[in-house]
Amino acid sequence: MKCALIMAGGRGTRFWPVSTEEKPKQFLKLLGNRSMLQMTVDRLNGYMDIEKIFICTSKKYVNLVKKQIPNIPDKNIIVEPFGMNTAPCIALSSILINKYYPNCNILVLPADHLVSKENKFISVIEKANNYLIKNSNAIITFGIRPNRPETGYGYIQISENNHDEIYKAIKFVEKPNYESALKYLLSGKYLWNSGIFVWNSTYIIELIREFLPNTYEALEGIISCEYEDLQEIIDNNYHNTDAISIDYGVMEKAQSIYVIPCDFGWDDVGSWNSLERYAEKDENGNVFIANGITHNSSNNIILSRKPIVVNGIEDIIVVETEDYIMISSKSNEQEIKEAKAQLDKMKYMEE
């Protein structure tokens, strides 16, 4: 049995101010006429029925999920009362999916990533599922072959030996500095961490019980409860889970993690610079989504609802919304999240 879990509870702060807490990145149409969440569900169509696709999201985004994915059953929307990082999200979802489809294989993927080669994507998912049929006590993740020293992604170091192009994971590495990223690229032994996993539901629950006992104990009441009591139990106990990522909470401790190197046109589209890789540009390399002109300007990202004149600048991001104007150098784009936090703190102090 194959199921999918789409994580759609993030706040998308790196795409601020277009992505807001009220309508974050996964619900926006950043790359066409479908939202990132809709594109994620679309690429699974034909591979599995909608009854096998689950979406975990925050309570405040349930109506957005229902509006954008109207055919998904209500029970397939897993509701976090509040965000507690990826480990509680995955623990809650895995227990519930196992409740409905015992001992199934679960494909876990974020709602806001780009996959441009969908046939290759489905092919490697099937390869992972076939491996788990014979090796249920294993976790498969997909490593993306790097083509640049990217500092915005995590990395996975893989072993030199492999079985049918499936490698043992040696370690997970958080976002590196440029020098480390370049070293990883040149070594050929590191892959980008796609954040996409396939595992057996029974096995991941066992690992959560072993490595995150507080989280398991907080959620084990939902295993045997009736459906009508489910959300109340989650709401009353979720604050007792561990606010930790699945990478730190489980992946760094488990011994049976394997990696399939992939090339299915993946990008987490997690920043303005990453969006630039797919947006249409003018003859000077500007992404210009606005009314107005650019003059003697190059390699900028400009989004504005008002007419705008851009003169004599390069490598700048300018985003204007109804509430904010955000201006950043492209080289310091990773700091937009920190600047937004500082702005929120200032607003809180003023109130």
Task: State which residues form the domain around 324.
Answer: 276-350
Print pLDDT tens along the chain (351 aa).
899 999 998 876 778 888 888 888 899 988 888 999 999 999 999 899 999 999 999 999 999 999 999 999 999 999 999 988 999 999 999 999 999 999 999 999 999 899 999 999 999 999 999 999 999 999 999 999 999 998 888 999 999 888 888 999 998 988 899 999 999 999 999 999 999 999 999 999 999 999 999 999 999 999 999 989 999 999 999 999 999 999 889 988 898 999 999 999 998 887 788 878 888 899 999 999 899 999 999 999 999 989 999 999 999 999 999 889 999 999 888 788 888 888 887 765 565
Q: How far apart are CA 102 and CA 287, in angstroms?
A: 48
Give exposure, 31-40, as e/b (b: 16+ Cβ within 10 Å): beeebbbbbb
Residue 347 is predicted with a pLDDT of 66
- Give the pair of three-digit tokens for residue 252: 């760094």
Query: Are 127 and 147 part of one and the same domain?
Result: yes
Residue 349 is predicted with a pLDDT of 59
CATH number for the domain spanning 159: value is: 3.90.550.10
Query: Are 249 and 291 part of one and the same domain?
Result: no
DSSP string spanning 47-102? TS-GGGEEEEEEGGGHHHHHHHSTTS-GGGEEEESS---HHHHHHHHHHHHHHHST
Q: How far is CA 214 from the centre of its chain?
A: 24
The predicted model scores a pTM of: 0.89
Residue 241 is predicted with a pLDDT of 96
Query: Are 145 and 294 part of one and the same domain?
Result: no
The per-residue pLDDT for range 113-143, each reduced to its tens digit, is: 999 999 999 999 999 999 999 999 999 999 9
Query: Are 231 and 201 part of one and the same domain?
Result: yes
Q: How far apart are CA 215 and CA 230, in angstroms?
A: 16
Query: Are 244 and 341 part of one and the same domain?
Result: no
Query: Are 261 and 285 part of one and the same domain?
Result: no
Closest CA to 141 of 115, 172, 112, 164: 172
Residue 10 is predicted with a pLDDT of 82
Residue 43 is predicted with a pLDDT of 95
Number of domains within the chain: 2
The per-residue pLDDT for range 224-271, each reduced to its tens digit, is: 999 899 999 999 999 999 999 998 899 888 989 999 999 999 988 877
Contacts for 293 with CB less than 8 Å, ≥ 6 apart: 309, 310
> Among the three residues 206, 236, 267, which one is the final residue of a domain in this structure?
267
For residue 29, how many other CB atoms are within 10 A of its CB?
11
Residue 292 is predicted with a pLDDT of 93
Query: Are 250 and 298 part of one and the same domain?
Result: no
| Residue type present at position 170 | I
Phi–psi pair at 110, nearest 5 degrees: -70, 155
Residue 27 is predicted with a pLDDT of 93
Query: Are 118 and 186 part of one and the same domain?
Result: yes
> Among the three residues 267, 299, 320, which one is the final residue of a domain in this structure?
267
